[in-house]
Structure 1
């Protein structure tokens, strides 16, 4: 599995390369933002499965590098940095980082986080440039929904539906196992990287927005007191039923 490490500290990078290599990763070390962006240009080799991105780079800020990566690629990005303040964490995640790990960190936890983002974004066997990947509608075809995880695009009956990053992540998570109830705690852990306590309204707003934008109010079903699940099959309605058309 190929991994791009963006780190200007040679001592830190050497230790990471050694440990990651022992765990089966083929690591390329980029020492600057410019080198990192060059490394992500498709070259016919196996695409990188994840990028570990330091923020304090010699030529440009890591936030800028993340933004430029996200503009051209869906490759998972984990920010690994000494910047532990909440504002930096929020800014990084809003720019498109899939996770944010602060130094010093436990190597076992970092490995677990790497494997977690890789599981959420499985390999497709093509380059990292958007446009290289065919859409993969999966189990939602029966409702006309196509989810292209690589390009982070969604369409309904051939119509592109613009979603925010969190809306897309929410739909992508629920669509992994249609019909399975995802607990609110799990949704916030996976999508917002935080606990759900006190944030229930945020989840409700995103669910409502997702339903409205897709034009499918019955797509995501609330399970009272537990969480939400995605209904992949088109619900059948009884014209005589008072609930028809809801």
Structure 2
């Protein structure tokens, strides 16, 4: 993995923007500083960055809403920064799809370290699937109206192709590979986010919620007190 990533810093505090950019540029990352989420959204539409460092309290659209909008379209890494040292705020940020949460004031070196870790995880998710699969020799997984084309990472539901993010596809793949098996949230976190992820397990719930919106009536069900499974009816043998 090289450092030729574009990282966007969205914060209305000019001092913080310049400080973070200076530390990242020393590590040979490309950076762009933005004061508002509206400016960030324009950047997303024209020159999407590889990662966001996102303040929560912004003029106009806040960081929560911006994170929600980005997550509806992509799995680009997001680190939220905020002066709010409140568990509720951290959980909300993680539920909306942020990958990490750092409280102000923070050490720029710590932020750079977290950025490196998130980009390494993103690089692995995007370019390799090193998890063993019993379907490796097959082109696709099929359950009723669901089809997953593994090599091309394409999903068809009721005959229509549905765009899925990398994490959505990874979650759908593991549940479809082992139908009717109940997975704990921790197991799904490890499979999709990696074994070095330390965020809330509510990230699993949020990802499942997004998948259900895209794949209406998909038979993924919650297992009370545990996690999730994909319910597939067993065919009777003749």
Give the TM-score normalised by the residue count of structure 2: 0.59
Q: What residue in structure 2 maps to residue 20 of structure 1?
A: 24
Pair 1:42-2:64 in alignment = no
SS of the counterpart of 2:58?
Answer: coil
1:81-137 Cα offsets, whole Å, 9 max, x none, are 111211111111111212212222233332232122222323979xxxxxxxxxxxx
Shift of 1:57: 0.8
Shift of 1:71: 2.3
Contact 2:94 2:200 in 1 (8 A): no
Q: Distance in 2 between matches of 1:143 and 1:77?
A: 31
Contact 1:170 1:191 in 2 (8 A): no
Report how many residues are paired.
186
Q: Distance in 2 between matches of 1:148 and 1:71?
A: 23
Which runs of no fewer than 5 residues in structure 1 stay unpaired?
126-137, 175-182, 196-200, 218-244
1:128-184 Cα offsets, whole Å, 9 max, x none, are xxxxxxxxxx958545334699xx975589776899x9876656899xxxxxxxx96
* Greater mean alpha carbon deviation, residues 68-77 or residues 185-194: 185-194
Contact 1:7 1:54 in 2 (8 A): yes
Which runs of no fewer than 5 residues in structure 2 stay unpaired?
128-134, 142-147, 176-185, 202-222
Q: What residue in structure 2 maps to residue 238 of structure 1?
A: none
Q: Distance in 2 between matches of 1:39 and 1:205?
A: 37
Which of residues 5, 8, 13 in structure 2 aligns to 1:9?
Answer: 13
1:20–1:74: structure 2 CA closer, same or farther, 3 Å change rule?
A: same
Give the TM-score normalised by the residue count of structure 1: 0.58
Q: What residue in structure 2 maps to residue 222 of structure 1?
A: none
